[in-house]
């Protein structure tokens, strides 16, 4: 029985870790789009200066793949929060604390 009580307070006890995870995910939500724009601009600029249709098409395809990867990475926090909400709804744990820390980019 003592281990079940420890599990029900898991998120409250590990709030520091979830705070860091939330801050890192928040930083990713800002940094990733900026990097996609910078690298896409550089690649397209090089292709346009070279004036070769094949390089421009290749750069456009690469920009599209980066945008898809960026969108997928931006959806990770919502996926993690949804998992915590589902687990929290089906158990007696305090998983809403974990979800709140991740969604709000850090605990309060």
CB 44 within 8 A of CB 66: no
What is the maximal distance between C-alpha atoms in the chain? Answer: 71
Mean pLDDT over each residue of the chain, to the nearest integer: 78
Name which of 36-40, 56-60, 83-87 the model is least confident about.
Answer: 83-87
| Residue 30 to residue 32: CA distance in whole angstroms | 6
pLDDT at 44: 83
The b/e string for 73-106 (b: 16+ C-beta within 10 A; e otherwise) is eeeebeebbeebeeebeeeebbbebbbbbbbebb
pLDDT score, position 60:
87
């Amino acid at each position: 029985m003592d281990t079940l009580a420890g599990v029900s307070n898991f998120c409250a006890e590990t709030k520091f870790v979830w705070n860091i995870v939330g801050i890192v995910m928040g930083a990713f939500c800002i940094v990733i789009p900026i990097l996609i724009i910078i690298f896409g601009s550089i690649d397209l600029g090089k292709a346009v200066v070279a004036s070769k249709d094949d390089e421009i098409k290749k750069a456009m395809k690469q920009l599209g793949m980066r945008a898809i990867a960026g969108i997928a990475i931006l959806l990770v926090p919502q996926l993690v929060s949804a998992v915590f909400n589902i687990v929290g709804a089906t158990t007696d744990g305090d998983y809403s604390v974990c979800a709140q820390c991740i969604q709000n980019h850090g605990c309060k």
